[in-house]
Amino acid sequence: MDRKMSRRVLLGSAGAAGAALIAGSLLTLDHADASGDDKIRTVSDITELQSLTAAHEGQQIVTRGYYAAGDGGGAVYTVVSTSAYAGTPDQIIDFLLAASGKVAVMNVSGGIHMKQAGVQSGVDCTARVKAAYARNAAHYYYEGDLAPLIDCADPAYPASKFGGGIQPPSNSYHWFDGLFKFQAKPNGLAEYVLFNLQGREHVTLVRPWIVGDVQTHTGTSGEWGFGYYIGNNSAASTLPIPEHITLQDCIADSNRRQGLSVTAVKQGRVVGGSYSRTGAILSTPPAYGIDIEPNAVASAYIDISLIDVQTSHNLRGGLQLVPGFLSGPAVADPFFNVYVENYRSLEDGPVGALRFAYPDLSNGGIRLNRKIFGQIVIRKATILHSKRKGVEWARWIPNAPEVVGTDISVIDPNMEGITNPASNGERSGFSINVTADDVSKGMTGPGAITLIRPQAIDRRTASSCNSPEFVPASSSIRV
């Protein structure tokens, strides 16, 4: 996939004001009124801006760059008095001036470009990105072959564990040019989040690229880490359920636990993108490219669509759907609605490239007799070269949401080539698994599953696929 977005397209998306600023057409202006008092003044960079000793309220200051003229970080600032400024300037977006009692406030009406926050490659830029987000701009732009580091650790760790990373403001649109990427800063903690969308509403990310720390993690245990996180993590959370969250053409590479983890969302959309190499070295299960798994909290709720999404080379599997904790007594509205269209998995596994599962049925958060409403609809999925089984249903009890899968194709499963006769399900295209242990914990059989035109194809000269479908007897399964 071509990740590069042309400058013309990026500027066109920015709108007139933002495009003019990014293109630099405002950066040569230097006007004065009849008295000679500058209304608009041009300086080279932030250092020169801060050193101004003569500035008056209402004056416009134009910088040609952030660290140096021409570096792409130029912006327009308005001078205000310190008494009129709410709070303390962060010295990243807004600046105290040498002129006594004056602050330069960035004009963000056309959006904020990350270079205007001083973001650089290979440097911890967490504070800079957070400062930009704190301005609650409507648009953010990420351009250039840069790889800034993000500190993904929760500042309150270990009292809380998933409050780290960067949190885009609600009602914001984020454009990436396909070259810019965020890199997780290595740390030794057990948990992390990079793009944190807890409690957010109306946020769209277009073409973001993030790289986790699975290759560089300095710890030795507790390999929990999320690239993108949509949800509410704890029962104590007062944040609303995330709504109207769109991830378009995202890349999540080399995260520890999930590329994308969803625990709560209303009207979520994931369109295109690639989620790969989760847990490539070490991880804590599930270690999937995408895991949609609500927690047993009152605000848990799932309503999301995934269209034209690809997962590949993830440690345990590509896409996993786990609604079980919605059956818990704390959940107010047990709803799990997922639509998947044109999904593709490449060399994921071995737990199941595409997997539908409940947690262990002895878990105290599971209620076997509580119905989870909603439906899971799969319209075209291609599972290619899964490590073992292609598609699995595990502990899929009768009160689970109905699954309707159309045109799911599994091609050349069991690339590991296991031959153990006791592992028939592990070597199949489709596996619906009911174990003696599940039955002992109250499972009476699988829930409602309908497969329309499923295919399991082995193109190898020596077949490694034991059976196209490994299915126990059950009237609730229709093929």
pLDDT, position 8: 44
Residue 223 · residue 284 · CB < 8 Å: yes
Q: Is the alpha carbon torsion for 262, 307, 177, 348 positive or negative?
A: positive
Q: Given pLDDT bands bounded at 50, 70 and 90, which one contains residue 18?
A: very low
pLDDT, position 3: 56
Q: What percent of the chain has pLDDT over 90?
A: 66
Q: Tokens in use for 140?
A: 């953010």
Q: Are residues 355 and 238 in the same domain?
A: yes
Is 112 inside a domain boundary?
Answer: no
pLDDT, position 479: 63
Mean pLDDT, rounded, for 281-309 = 90
Is 17 inside a domain boundary?
Answer: no
Q: Are residues 100 and 126 in the same domain?
A: no
Q: Are residues 269 and 309 in the same domain?
A: yes
Rounded to the nearest 5°, which phi and psi values hold at 10? -60, -45
Domain endpoint, select from 107, 137, 172:
107
Is 361 inside a domain boundary?
Answer: yes
Q: Are residues 100 and 131 in the same domain?
A: no
Q: Are residues 200 and 141 in the same domain?
A: yes
Mean pLDDT, rounded, for 378-394 = 96
pLDDT > 60? residue 318: yes
Q: Given pLDDT bands bounded at 50, 70 and 90, which one contains residue 17?
A: very low
pLDDT, position 4: 55
Cα separations in angstroms, 64 against 7, 44, 177, 396: 19, 5, 22, 60
Q: Given pLDDT bands bounded at 50, 70 and 90, which one contains residue 27?
A: very low
Closest CA to 251 of 309, 197, 292: 309
Is 304 inside a domain boundary?
Answer: yes
Q: Are residues 334 and 392 in the same domain?
A: yes
pLDDT digits (tens, 9 = 90+) for 245-293: 999 999 999 888 899 999 999 999 999 999 999 987 667 788 999 999 9
Q: Are residues 322 and 212 in the same domain?
A: yes
Higher-confidence residue: 139 or 216? 139
Q: Are residues 320 and 173 in the same domain?
A: yes
Beta strand 40-43 pairing with 112-113: unpaired
pLDDT, position 472: 65
Q: Are residues 368 and 293 in the same domain?
A: yes
Is 163 inside a domain boundary?
Answer: yes
Q: For the chain, what is the mean pLDDT?
A: 88
Mean pLDDT, rounded, for 380-405 = 96
Domain around 84? 31-107
pLDDT, position 392: 95
Mean pLDDT, rounded, for 75-82 = 97
What gap in Å lies between CA 393 and CA 74, rounded to an integer? 54
pLDDT digits (tens, 9 = 90+) for 105-156: 999 999 999 999 999 999 999 999 999 999 999 999 999 999 999 998 888 8
> For the chain, what is the domain count?
2
Domain endpoint, select from 107, 133, 149:
107
Residue 190 · residue 221 · CB < 8 Å: yes
Residue 215 · residue 281 · CB < 8 Å: yes
Is 23 inside a domain boundary?
Answer: no
Closest CA to 267 of 337, 364, 197: 337
Mean pLDDT, rounded, for 385-412 = 96
Q: Are residues 61 and 178 in the same domain?
A: no
pLDDT digits (tens, 9 = 90+) for 166-185: 999 999 999 999 999 999 99
Is 245 inside a domain boundary?
Answer: yes
Torsion of CA 351, 354, 357, 359, to 10 degrees: 50
Q: Are residues 215 and 66 in the same domain?
A: no
Task: Write the CATH number for 306.
Answer: 2.160.20
Is 11 inside a domain boundary?
Answer: no
pLDDT, position 364: 81
pLDDT digits (tens, 9 = 90+) for 452-474: 999 999 998 888 888 787 776 55
Mean pLDDT, rounded, for 384-394 = 95
pLDDT, position 161: 79
What gap in Å lies between CA 313 and CA 43, rounded to an integer? 50
pLDDT > 50? residue 36: no
Q: Are residues 94 and 200 in the same domain?
A: no
Domain endpoint, select from 57, 72, 107:
107
- Look up residue 20 and give its amino acid: A
What gap in Å lies between CA 14 and CA 2, rounded to an integer? 21
